[in-house]
Structure 1
Amino acid sequence: MSKISGPAAAALASLCPDNVIFLQSLPKAELHAHLNGSIPVKTILELAQKYPPSGAHAAEVADTIEKLGSGVDFNEISDFFFLMSVIYALTSTPEAVATVTRAVLQSFLNPADDGAESPQCAYLELRSTPRATTHMTRERYLVTVLDEIETYPATQAALIVSVDRRMSDLDLAECVSLAIEMKNRGRRVVGIDVCGDPRSGDMRSFTHHLSRAKGAGLGLTVHIAEHTANTTEDSLALLSCRPDRLGHATFLSDELKAFESADPCIEICLSSNLLGKSVASLDAHHIHYYLKNDHPIVICTDDKLPFRTSCLGEYSLLLAQPPLGLGLSRDDVARIARMGMDAAFLRPRDCRSRL
């Protein structure tokens, strides 16, 4: 098995072999995986050797890279954001971006090297924020990522362009325009995501750009009510754009849940919520509300790197008996997997037309 730890590993270890085989055989869609948060540790260490950290923060970066080998302890969801600065320091060139994108795609879509494990998922919508550095423009970044994604069939992989809550209006406009342009060129961009530090940004200023993306035929997913600091006004601004999917929705109030007239699919990331301490336990997890109300959900990994999980690990949390998991039946787990496949922005009928 792939090296995972924490709640997902405990749930997986508790399953009998037949149940593990059942979970592996399910066609699963991974619709909430951040590129930079899903890089295998091995790839980061190789990049660090090839491009040794330099500058004022070199020692701090080197220390963080060393800690990655034994796992990272996150006390709050905000603790994860420092790790991103380390990743960015190592992926500032098109060559490095291509390397990590290739590694992430392989980790999700290729069988394990020893052949003991099937691919983690049948379909992947990888998401990433276009970055401009001294070595590349945002357009070059996107083209580099897409070149790697498009080595896989359209039935297996696509890209969601993420925009960060901390972006200026000018940067936001550029990223949305690039996503639309790439889609119009026939490149495999299927959606827009709003992400970043949930405590930052005024989402009312984002609505025009998000509506423009939807009008161009792109799917829309938004990280929403991810933190207790997110206000009702913040969530209403995002919901006013009629997103197709909602990321996390951890602290969405009953009033706002009633606002979801279109029943957008909820991207559930169990290990992320537990280890980031945005939920206290599986018993207290908001997945119960959505299951009870037969609301569409999809099970996702979020950031495999810090949360040390996998698609198989996340599905194990559904099937394992309490307190290690939710204790759902095989039929319920299979239904959840189908809901995830149905929530993809690139639907099977679209895939066939693009092959």
Structure 2
Amino acid sequence: MRDLIRKLPKVELHLHLDGSLRGRTVLELAENRGLELPTYSLEELMEYLQVNDNCNSLAEYLEKFELPLKIMQTKEALTRVTYELIEDAALENIKYLEIRFAPLLSTEKLNAEEVMKAVLAGIEQGESDYDLQANLILCCMRHQDPSKSIEVAQLAIEYLDQGVVGLDLAGDEANFPPEEHEEAFKLATEAGLHRTVHAGEVAGAESVKKAIDYLNAERIGHGIRSNEDKETLETVKESGVTLEVCPTSNLHTNVITNLVQHPIREYYELGIPVTVSTDNRTVSDLTLSQEYLLLYEKLGFSLTDIWNLISSGIKASFITKEEKEKLIVNFKDEFKNITDYSL
């Protein structure tokens, strides 16, 4: 099953660039710039980039982004890490990928335009070398002044036809409610830019409802605490909002204490659209194939269930109806060839 899942065509919609850097790349880029690292041993460096089983909170999890963000301050670094993420995804047969990152966090030496062009250059190189389509989602950060979110929204709109498909709100969910950033998402909606919002991870169901009511979210990043309130759960179901579920990440941030407790099965059986992602490949030391294998082994998802999750991801992707239909047809053919399984 491990080999079969790895071969299956897949999509990933919730994947952070700064949480998915290769350790060796961090070493090399730091050396190129003369940056001081806490260690120059690759094995020891991974302790600064990955969580372990003792991670107790989202705050502790987010500490693993500090070093990658220091690295991601040059055109060379941004292009390279983007290209390598596409390469890593292609190696496990991910065919469509939405990469998210906060462009304003890479502007120590570059302006926002330079940051965007460097990341888009990495995507262009990756798409040229691999059978994979990738797009960008730009992240507003909750802790920053709402004017910064407006700046990010305007940047996303500027690049709407050049590889950017969506706007996200990420960061400290517990202390910064989504309504503070309503104006940025209003701009995004009016411009035809798609919206996804981190919610229902460390904060409860109210955070999810606010993301839908105030920010017009089409997808919710995580959203696993939606079931804490019956009205919110009904809102999610009736609105057709897709939950971008990242089970292992939820375990690492201590939102759940055991994978068996994860509510993805409950949401799936309720008919709520759910899609599966890794969140951060490096921080969680995880591939999308491994995430699906865990669902199969720990939560009883069958091959048909896995197809339904993959299909849900295609339907929720921020691409055109025609592109979605083409992916569905191609995925069905490839799925049958790999599994000898008719859908």
> TM-score, with normalisation over the residues of structure 2?
0.84
Structure with the greater relative contact order (CA < 8 A, sep ≥ 6): 1 or 2?
1
- Of Structure 1 and Structure 2, the greater helix share is in 2
Q: Secondary structure at the match of 2:15?
A: strand
Maintained 8 Å contact 2:75/2:118: yes
State whether structure 2 residue 28 is matched by structure 1 residue 46: yes
State whether structure 2 residue 16 is matched by structure 1 residue 31: no
- Aligned-pair distance for 1:264? 0.8
* Residue 196 of structure 1, aligned match among 151, 160, 171: 171
Maintained 8 Å contact 1:222/1:238: yes
Shift in CA distance, 286/175, structure 1 to aligned 2, threshold 3 Å? same
- Alpha-carbon distance in 2 for matches of 1:126, 1:102: 11
State whether structure 2 residue 304 is matched by structure 1 residue 331: yes
- Aligned-pair distance for 1:65? 7.3
254-263 or 150-159, which moves further after superposition? 150-159
263-272 or 146-155, which moves further after superposition? 146-155
- Aligned-pair distance for 1:331? 1.2
Shift in CA distance, 40/166, structure 1 to aligned 2, threshold 3 Å? same
- Alpha-carbon distance in 1 for matches of 2:43, 2:290: 25
* Residue 119 of structure 2, aligned match among 122, 145, 154: 145
Shift in CA distance, 155/306, structure 1 to aligned 2, threshold 3 Å? closer
330-339 or 152-161, which moves further after superposition? 152-161
- Alpha-carbon distance in 1 for matches of 2:277, 2:320: 18
Maintained 8 Å contact 2:78/2:122: no
Q: Secondary structure at the match of 1:302?
A: coil
Shift in CA distance, 226/352, structure 1 to aligned 2, threshold 3 Å? closer
Maintained 8 Å contact 1:64/1:83: no
Q: Secondary structure at the match of 1:190?
A: strand
Q: How does 1:45-64 map onto structure 2 within 5 Å?
A: 45-54=27-36, 61-62=38-39
Maintained 8 Å contact 1:242/1:262: no
- Alpha-carbon distance in 2 for matches of 1:181, 1:76: 36
Maintained 8 Å contact 1:130/1:139: no
- Aligned-pair distance for 1:315? 0.7
- RMSD of Structure 2 on Structure 1 (CA): 2.4
- Aligned-pair distance for 1:66? 6.1
* Residue 87 of structure 1, aligned match among 62, 68, 77: 68
Letter in 2 for 1:211: K
Shift in CA distance, 351/148, structure 1 to aligned 2, threshold 3 Å? farther
Maintained 8 Å contact 2:140/2:167: yes
Give CA-to-partner distance per residue, 1:217-271, whole Å, 9 cap, x none.
111111011114x572x44331113311111112223221122231211111011
- Alpha-carbon distance in 2 for matches of 1:42, 1:315: 26
Letter in 2 for 1:143: K
1:276 aligns to what? 253
- Alpha-carbon distance in 1 for matches of 2:222, 2:282: 18
- Aligned-pair distance for 1:30? 0.4
Q: Secondary structure at the match of 1:69?
A: helix
1:7 aligns to what? none
Q: Which runs of 5+ in 1 are unaligned?
A: 1-18, 112-118
Identity of aligned residues (%): 27
Maintained 8 Å contact 1:81/1:197: no
How many residue pairs align between the two structures? 314
Q: How does 1:1-355 map onto structure 2 within 5 Å?
A: 19-54=1-36, 61-62=38-39, 67-69=44-46, 71-73=50-52, 74-109=55-90, 111=91, 119-131=92-104, 132-151=106-125, 152=127, 156-183=133-160, 186-228=161-203, 230=204, 232=206, 234-240=207-213, 241-252=215-226, 253-260=229-236, 261-320=238-297, 325-347=298-320, 349-350=322-323
Letter in 1 for 2:153: V
Q: Secondary structure at the match of 1:125?
A: strand
Letter in 2 for 1:72: V
Q: Which runs of 5+ in 2 are unaligned?
A: 327-343
> TM-score, with normalisation over the residues of structure 1?
0.82
Shift in CA distance, 263/206, structure 1 to aligned 2, threshold 3 Å? same
Shift in CA distance, 168/189, structure 1 to aligned 2, threshold 3 Å? same
